[in-house]
Amino acid sequence: LKCVGVRQWSVLFDDATSKAHRWPARKRAMLAILRDRTRVCTARLLLVAAPGPLARQAPRLGAASPWATPCRQLAGRRSTGGDRREGADVGLKEDEDSVDDGNSPTASGGDAAGAGGEGAAGAAAADGSSGADVPSSGKGPAGAAALFALPLYRKPAFPGFYQIIQVSEQEVLDFLFSLARSGQGEYLGGFLTKEPSDKVSDEPLEVPLSMSNLPAASQNLRRDAGGVGRVEELEEVGTVLQVVNLNQYPNVAGGQIVVMPHRRIRRTRVVQEPTPNVPLPSVAVEYLEEPQVDKSDEKLKALRSDVLATMQDLLKTSFLYKEQFEQVIRFYDMHNPVKLVDLVAGMSLANRKELQAILEEDNLMERLTKVHVIVKKDLELARLQSTVKSQMEEKVSKEQRRLMLMEQMKQIVKELGLEKDDKQSLIGQFREAIKDKTVPEEASALIEAELAKLGTLEPTSSEFNICRTYLEWLTCLPWGKFTEENKDIEKAENILNEDHYGLEDVKERILEHIAVSFLKETTQGKIMCLVGPPGVGKTSVGKSIARALDRQFYRFSVGGLHDVAEIRGHRRTYVGAMPGKLIQCLKITQSSNPVVLIDEIDKLGRDFRGDPSSALLEVLDPEQNGSFRDHYLDVPVDLSRVLFVCTANVTDTIPAPLLDRMEVIRIAGYVFEEKMQIAKQYLIPQTEEQSGIGRNRLDLEEEALKSMVRDYAREAGVRQLRKLLEKVSRKVALTLVRKVEEDATCMKITLASLNSYIGQPLHLSDRLFNEGTPPGVVMGLAWTAMGGATLFVEARGRLPRGSERRDHSEQRDGDEDGSLVSDSSSKGSSGGMGGMQVTGQLGSVMSESSSISLTYARLFVRELDERNSYLDEARVHLNVPEGATPKDGPSAGVTMTSALVSLAVNQPIKTNLAMTGELTLTGKVLKVGGIKEKVIAARRERVSTLLLPRQNEADFVELKEYLRAGITAHFVDHYDDVYRLAFEEGQVPALPKPSRGLPVVTVDTPQTPEVEAPSTTAESTETADSAGSAP
């Protein structure tokens, strides 16, 4: 009825009635029910219409229309203003008897209310009759002594047009129904709450127990009105609300009220506070007179015109306002400023406090001014929303236009036969990608098969994307593409020297590789492994190798790697499968002969997902990597031209089969002189540039740099030295910035001021005894993952009570007398009761070495003096300091034995002497590793004499002369020579017989005045001494 109009619906209904005699009985019965329902809907529609339109609409109905009579009767009541209660009661009764299906004018008006909370339900009460039509008899509000106050949560109600109010509390709605049934609830007082109620939230309404059999609510409902605890929570000024219709929600608690606000009222006193049985309070009210309009006030006219023009702009700008209020304005008195104010305030989305202030304002000019302010705000908000909406629509329209044009272009191209579809274009791209590549026969056959398969698949299928991804990997590999290698030896050598200082073994090996490639006129691959402590440049030297060879460089770390798929790829059956690192390397570098750096290969993991070290066996085997098969590609890929460079700190954790496939190049670390040159040539310029201070603003004195290397950065690498130089550069940069106004040109770092930049020295000396060691203490040499280090072995003993100990001189005098024989010697001959405790967190191998040392030392001391049973009787404690550091290895055997012998004979060894070597039970001194690291550690501690195994002579001689300068090395084959060289002759018992080992070889490299570079030369002498001769 609301959409097509009463007259048109009448015509349609009459036409259906004329044809009803041909319908079945059931259909005619339904038509009769529809006729009764239509009468009710017609009454509802006309109930909310203005008297003027209603009077014009009623005569248009035909005399034979079944609802013409009730429409005319209702129009007569509305136009005369009489018997309102009867009309309202009829509407309420019909509403209670009917089923609200959501198509009634009331429900439609609720939908049109929008986000603001209240809207126009149907047409407005026009012609200015809303306030004047309030009756003054006892039936109307003018004659009422008190009104029930309905609290409004969202905004106040303004006189002039119908509003729909959502009531959230079921007890309030039940109370209103009871008032309607008793004939007392036609008029209420609508008062805004002073503070927003927490019941205004959009939480779902609870279904009461009486409605538990109904379906659950499918949406959240607005809450406009409800109850309050006290009358003081309400504003003083409100409006008289005429209840037109009441509806109960069918599936949730609460309902809606259609009201018609009439005129402003002020509450004067409280008649009754709300109680559990009466949820709405009762208040006495007085009716406020509307201000008189001065038609001669030009200012008022101008302001009214501006408000009206602004509102019209608002209706043009905002679709929401136009949808709700266009019909209202058509029948509304827009020339009356009082009515205009109420209309605009009722339409506005302004703050509830601002709207309440308009409702309370008595002065018409002030009221119109406040309305002018809020309508301007609404217009600005509407314009902003319109701008955002237009921008979004423009963006969407552009995208839609593009899609439409693309579809049209596809159809045009397809009709003209100019281009094939996307699938054929994709296949063409794949063929173009491999056109200039030398693809192996097996890979080429597989690519053709996959291309044929791709042509039969639908683009929307999942298999299509899998096949497409597989072809992308197959066609993007550099089949047969190689980077031309540099064959200029001098150029490569200059590049290596530019990037790194020292590392002669690595540089020599790379130059050899270039020479072989030059002679064979082909590029070749190799597997190298750089082993050394942290900070010596293993990773960075890989980049220099690639740069020297003019090859592409790719690095990936395998430290902590557990998954074999990272090396060999995933099977294509898995979701998200992809090739391994080596295939990714070829794709990124687009070269079949790059330099691949496999970092931290000594830290490979192993778990249930597989053993990556086993997967690397094929990759790093020159006999197998020519046909490497990745699990994802499943075609042979040639890796024989790839130069693999691996890095590791130690070789102990690398599996033996994997280590056997690599050429190990050891980088021992840097000595003092090398660190000085590295700092001058590389580190200082780099830190100056990185910190932004420039080349001429930092002056680091020679003595300060020496102290930094000697006392702060003693590790094998230069990483700590770099950190210290960066710290100095940062502090210098801060000082320069602070003194920018003073134009500071250069900061000089002296030895005295060094502590203020990098703090106190970390290392003063590794020696526990600077002035010589006491008996039982010997300095050894050790190899660690951080480089070489000196290591002291301490031995102390305690004899049982009653036993006496005599030193070497007393024993010698006793021998001459023939009468001085202690009891301890006789006890020792019977086997002795002595033992040894070993401390210092030693490993199993080192603990075994200590047991071997004690056994051999007891026998050796008895060979020197049969009466010396000290080691047999005394309780010996052997300790290796720095107990927090784990220690292991066999190279401390000679050192431990010398400490026990020194304790037994009660004589110290020579000063500035260190030794290393593995000892057997027969006294043989065996070969050990890490000679270069140990020599570097000895130089750092200024040790002048070394005792090394005879089999390590070649390792020592191969060292650069600047590393051996100032060191005398004795290479011994048996402990007899260690004893003879370690102790001062005449202070200890002499050997009873000649040495049982090979002759001692002594290499003495004189100390040059200034040793700064590897090119420094020194004369080395080698002498082969007899077993009994002096060193």
**Residue with the two structure tokens 């006309």:** 46
| pLDDT over 90 (residue 830) | no
Amino acid at 614: S
pLDDT digits (tens, 9 = 90+) for 917-936: 999 999 999 999 888 888 88
Count Cβ atoms below 10 Å from residue 535 Cβ, excluding itself. 20
Query: Tokens at residue 705, please?
Result: 């740099």
Of the ranges 213-217, 229-233, 329-333, which one carries the lowest mean pLDDT score? 213-217
At residue 536 the predicted structure's pLDDT band, cuts being 50, 70 and 90, is confident
Residue 597 has what pLDDT?
A: 92
Could you tell me the CA-to-CA distances from 977 to 645, 894, 929 in Å, in that order?
43, 11, 21
Question: Taking the complete model, does pTM exceed 0.75, yes or no?
Answer: no
- Rounded mean pLDDT, 421-442: 84
Q: d(Cα 848, Cα 890) in Å, to the nearest integer?
A: 8
Q: Where are the beta strands (DSSP E) in 587-707?
A: 595-599, 628-629, 636-637, 643-648, 663-666, 698-700
pLDDT digits (tens, 9 = 90+) for 246-258: 888 887 888 888 9
| pLDDT over 90 (residue 435) | no
At residue 666 the predicted structure's pLDDT band, cuts being 50, 70 and 90, is confident
Q: d(Cα 428, Cα 431) in Å, to the nearest integer?
A: 5
Rounded to the nearest 10 degrees, the angle between the axes of helix 489-499 and helix 538-549 is 150
| pLDDT over 50 (residue 105) | no
Task: Determine whether 891 is an active site residue.
Answer: yes
Burial 997-1019 (b: 16+ CB within 10 A, else e): bebbbbbbbeeeeebeebeeebe
Q: Which residues contact 772 (CB under 8 A, 6 or more apart)?
A: 908, 911
Query: Tokens at residue 566, please?
Result: 């990272």
Alpha helix (H) residue ranges in 417-440:
422-433
**Residue with the two structure tokens 């020292």:** 502
Phi, psi of 608, rounded to the nearest 5 degrees? -65, -20
- Rounded mean pLDDT, 567-583: 87
Backbone Cα Rg of the chain: 52
pLDDT digits (tens, 9 = 90+) for 865-918: 888 888 888 999 999 988 777 888 888 999 999 999 999 999 999 988 999 999
- Residues in a beta bridge with 949: 972
At residue 822 the predicted structure's pLDDT band, cuts being 50, 70 and 90, is very low
| pLDDT over 70 (residue 673) | yes
Burial 35-46 (b: 16+ CB within 10 A, else e): eeebbbbbbbbb
Report helix, strand and coil shares of the chain as percent, to nearest 5: 45, 15, 40
Phi, psi of 486, rounded to the nearest 5 degrees? -70, 130
Q: Please answer whether residues 170 and 208 qualify as being in contact, where contact means their C-beta atoms are separated by less than 8 angstroms.
A: yes
Question: CA angle, corner 628, sides to 627 and 629, nearest 5?
Answer: 115
| pLDDT over 50 (residue 102) | no
Amino acid at 559: G
pLDDT digits (tens, 9 = 90+) for 392-421: 877 778 888 888 888 888 788 777 766 556
| pLDDT over 80 (residue 38) | no
Amino acid at 679: A
Residue 18 has what pLDDT?
A: 64
Q: Please answer whether residues 972 and 947 qualify as being in contact, where contact means their C-beta atoms are separated by less than 8 angstroms.
A: yes
| pLDDT over 70 (residue 217) | no
At residue 539 the predicted structure's pLDDT band, cuts being 50, 70 and 90, is confident
Residue 1028 has what pLDDT?
A: 33
| pLDDT over 90 (residue 390) | no
Could you tell me the CA-to-CA distances from 228 to 163, 186, 194, 276, 484 in Å, in that order?
21, 21, 11, 11, 89
Which has the higher per-residue pLDDT, 622 or 330? 622
Residue 749 has what pLDDT?
A: 84
Q: d(Cα 258, Cα 617) in Å, to the nearest integer?
A: 86
Active-site residue, from 891, 898, 902, 995: 891
Residue 902 has what pLDDT?
A: 92
Residue percentage of the chain with pLDDT more than 70: 74
Q: d(Cα 447, Cα 802) in Å, to the nearest integer?
A: 93
pLDDT digits (tens, 9 = 90+) for 695-710: 777 888 888 888 888 8
| pLDDT over 90 (residue 663) | no
Write out the DSSP string of 21-90.
GGS-HHHHHHHHHHHHHHHHHHHHHHHTS-HHHHHHHGGGS-TT-TTHHHHHHHHHHHHHT--HHHHHHH
Active-site residue, from 155, 370, 675, 934: 934
Of the ranges 348-352, 863-867, 949-953, which one carries the lowest mean pLDDT score? 348-352
Distance from the Cα of residue 750 to its chain's centroid: 45
Query: Tokens at residue 890, please?
Result: 């066999």
| pLDDT over 90 (residue 687) | no
Residue 607 has what pLDDT?
A: 72
Of the ranges 100-104, 283-287, 437-441, which one carries the lowest mean pLDDT score? 100-104
pLDDT digits (tens, 9 = 90+) for 258-299: 999 988 999 988 998 998 888 999 999 999 888 888 878 888
